[in-house]
A and B are shown apart, each in its own frame.
Chain A
Amino acid sequence: DSGVTQTPKHLITATGQRVTLRCSPRSGDLSVYWYQQSLDQGLQFLIQYYNGEERAKGNILERFSAQQFPDLHSELNLSSLELGDSALYFCASSVGGGSPIGEQFFGPGTRLTVL
C-alpha cells in the first residue's frame, strides 16, 4: 500500500459525459501528479500540482482539468468524454515539487471506460 488513495476504482460512463476522479496523496506529500495509461499511448504524464498550484503540464487535453485543494487532495475532471479517453488514470504523490527529485508513490488507479 503506497498510501495514495484514488476513488473510484472503476468508472463506466457514456460518450459526452463528464466525470471527476479523486486522489488523496500520502500524508506530508505536497505534490500530486496525474498520469494516463492507455494501450495506444502508454503511460503519459498529464499534470502536476504542488501545494495547490499547477507546476507542470504534459499531454493533457483541453477537455481535461485538474485542481489541488487546500487539504492537498486533487481532482481530475474529464469532460465531453470520447471513446478514446478510456484508460487507467493514475495519481502519484511526492514530498517535493522539483529538484532534488523525490520518489513518486503511485495510487492503484481509476479505470475509466467510456461506452
Chain B
Amino acid sequence: AQSVTQPDIHITVSEGASLELRCNYSYGATPYLFWYVQSPGQGLQLLLKYFSGDTLVQGIKGFEAEFKRSQSSFNLRKPSVHWSDAAEYFCAVGARGATNKLIFGTGTLLAVQP
C-alpha cells in the first residue's frame, strides 16, 4: 500500500536561513510525487510535482525538491526562507493507474522567526 511519511511535525527556522523538509514514501513503482502548501484558513496550493525525468524539480515561490529513488525520498528545499513561507507543508504520492487519488503525509508545520 502507498504511504507517505513526514518525520518532522514542526520546524522553526530563522528568516533568511535555508530549509529542508523531509518526505519518505512507500510505493511499489515510481510514484507521482507532490508538495502542497496550506496557509492558515486556506486550501492547498501545489508547490511542485515529480512525474519522471530530471530528479531535481523546480516549483513556485523558490522551492525545489529532489527525488531520490534509492532513499525513497522527495525532500523539499528552499535556500532562503521568507516570513511569508510560514505554513503547513504536505507531501503526497499519487498512484499510476485508473485513479488520480492522492495519499498525503501528516504535514510539517513551518514557523519562521524574524
A residues contacting B by CB (< 8 A) are 2, 4, 31, 33, 35, 42-45, 48, 55-56, 58, 90, 92, 94, 96-109
- Cβ-defined partner of B99 (8 Å) among A42, A43, A98, A105: A98
Complex contact A58–B97 (CB within 8 A): no
Complex contact A2–B43 (CB within 8 A): yes
Known interface pairs A43-B90, A103-B49, A106-B45. Does A96 touch B101 (Cβ–Cβ under 8 Å)? no
CA gap between A56 and B99 in the complex, in Å: 6
Chain B contacts of A35 at CB under 8 A? 102, 104
Known interface pairs A43-B90, A107-B43. Does A98 touch B100 (Cβ–Cβ under 8 Å)? yes
17 chain-A/chain-B pairs, Cβ below 8 angstroms: A2-B43, A33-B100, A42-B107, A43-B90, A43-B107, A45-B102, A48-B100, A90-B44, A96-B100, A97-B98, A98-B97, A99-B96, A104-B102, A106-B43, A106-B45, A107-B43, A108-B42
Complex contact A103–B99 (CB within 8 A): no
Chain A contacts of B46 at CB under 8 A? 103-105
Complex contact B43–A99 (CB within 8 A): no
Complex contact B98–A98 (CB within 8 A): yes
Name B's interface SS.
Answer: loop
Complex contact A56–B98 (CB within 8 A): yes
Count residues on chain B whose CB falls below 8 Å from chain A CBs. 24
Q: B94 — nearest CB in chain A belongs to which residue?
A: A101
Chain A contacts of B72 at CB under 8 A? none
CA gap between A34 and B65 in the complex, in Å: 26
Chain A contacts of B101 at CB under 8 A? 33, 45, 48, 56, 58
Chain A contacts of B44 at CB under 8 A? 90, 92, 106
The yes or no answer to B63 lying at the interface (CB within 8 A) is no
- Cβ-defined partner of A108 (8 Å) among B36, B43, B107: B43
Known pairs A33-B100, A44-B104; list 7 more (Cβ under 8 Å).
A42-B105, A45-B101, A48-B99, A56-B101, A98-B97, A101-B51, A101-B95
Complex contact A101–B100 (CB within 8 A): yes
CA gap between A96 and B95 in the complex, in Å: 13
Q: How many Å from the CB of A38 to the closest CB on chain B?
A: 12
